[in-house]
Amino acid sequence: MQLRVYLTLLSIIGSLSLSGQIGGESTYQFLNMSNSARIAALGGIQVAINDSADLNLAFYNPGLLKESCTNQLLMNYVNYLTDINVGYVSYGFSLGKYGTMAAGMHYINYGKFIAADENGVKSENGFSAGEYALNIIWSKKIQRWNVGANLKPVLSGFESYRSFGIAADIGASLLSVNNRSSFGLVARNIGTQITSYYEGGKREAIPFELLAGFSQKLAHAPLVLSVTARQLNQWNLARPDEDNTQDEFNTEPAESFGKQFMRHLLLGAEILPSPNFTLRLGYDYHLRQEMKLEEKLSTVGFSLGFGVKIKRFRLDYSTTRFHVAGSSNLISLAFNLNNTIF
């Protein structure tokens, strides 16, 4: 009964959202940035990986927070483009019969900027910009399902402009009886901007989205395949110039169903040559279409990485090709503070 009520609430909240947002149509976009090296290597977002005590997974689906994440400490660092840096720290602890919790901080630092007046006269003092989100994650096992929620107060500051908001994720995961198949469902960034960046300003939307995912570990090969469908609340993810919708100025046909469908999918694969070493590969078709150059496609949209486990320590690294001009590198460190190994 509890599970039925929970899933009904998830559906109602999803239906109340008027539409999904893509880049440039909402504020607090950093909430959707990947900060886990493992997940970044698998395409950027995966909400159904359910095979390990990885505290990072709860950031993408709070329903993946497990009792085995208790007393884990993790630190993520992202060397993003130019001087932009992203980070995430989190710690998991047990609530006994009331479930499992984790507390973390997600931030983005846009670096230092030169300040100048309307005449171009530079100020001696520059300014900085950054955004921060506290993550308070809770989960509990109900029958075969694991359900969870993530409350995220948000503070955003650009020079003297400040905004405060509140967001939340709710999610659920289901692991098959043979422990090889996993399903995940998430509603991310449910919430609102409480204060705008300037007095009297209109409140902006935050990037709400619905996601569903599936992960499968092959029975006779050291391989795990994962797929996540994002923006299920919005079909068209192409920019107007990419969509080529027919009008009096454009006679090209609209983007095909297959291409629109692929824009929603994030594909990932993990190769497990040993219990302590993992190779990873991911593909984001939407990112490739957004950022590619026709004259030089390169590996835009592809990501790769690896993971190493040594007793109570885990290191993950990944690199994602955002554009021919540059890539993003991510490092994740996790420490198991229990007397057991990962």
Q: How confident is the model at residue 6 (pLDDT cuts 50, 70, 90)?
A: very low
49-53, 178-182, 266-270, 330-334: range with lowest mean pLDDT: 49-53
The confidence score (pLDDT) of residue 17 equals 39
Q: How far apart are the first and last CA of the chain?
A: 34
Write the Ramachandran bin of 183: left for phi over 0, alpha for psi from -120 to 50, otherwise beta.
beta
Strand, coil or helix: 162 = strand
237 found inside a domain? yes
For position 9, what pLDDT does the model report? 44
Q: What is the mean pLDDT of the chain?
A: 87
Residue 118 domain-assigned? no
Q: Is the predicted pLDDT of residue 2 greater than 80, yes or no?
A: no
Overall number of domains in the chain: 1
> Residue 253 — pLDDT band, cuts 50, 70, 90?
low
What pLDDT score does 24 carry? 55
For residues 222-257, b (16+ Cβ closer than 10 Å) or e, as one string?
Answer: eebebbbbbbbbbebbbeeeebeeeeeeeeeeebee
Q: Is residue 153 part of a domain?
A: yes
Distance between CA atoms of residues 237 and 261, nearest Å? 9
SS3 of residue 113 by DSSP: strand
- pLDDT, tens digit (0-9, with 9 covering 90-100), for 168-218: 999 999 999 999 999 999 999 999 999 999 888 889 999 999 999 999 999
Q: CATH number of the domain that 109 lies in?
A: 2.40.160.40
Tens-place pLDDT, residues 8-65 = 444 444 443 333 445 457 899 999 999 999 999 999 999 999 887 899 999 999 999 9
Instruction: Please say if the pLDDT value at position 3 is more than 60.
Output: no
User: Average pLDDT of 320-330?
Assistant: 80
Over residues 238-258, the mean pLDDT reads: 61
Q: What are the pLDDT digits (tens) for 109-139?
A: 998 888 887 888 888 788 889 999 999 999 9
Q: What mean pLDDT is predicted for residues 277-292?
A: 92
Give the pLDDT band of residue 327 (cuts 50, 70, 90). confident
Residue 275, domain member (yes or no): yes
Q: Hey, what amino acid is at 252?
A: E
| HSE (side-chain half, CA atoms, 13 Å) at 171 | 34
341 lies in some domain: no
Q: What is the mean pLDDT of residues 245-273?
A: 80
| Lowest-confidence region among 124-128, 227-231, 257-261 | 124-128
Residue 319 lies in a domain: yes
Tokens (6 digits) for 71: 């007393």
The pLDDT assigned to 240 comes to 59
Residue 174, domain member (yes or no):
yes
Q: Place 239 in a pLDDT band, splitting at 50, 70 and 90.
A: low
User: Which residues span the domain enclosing 82?
Assistant: 2-113+126-336
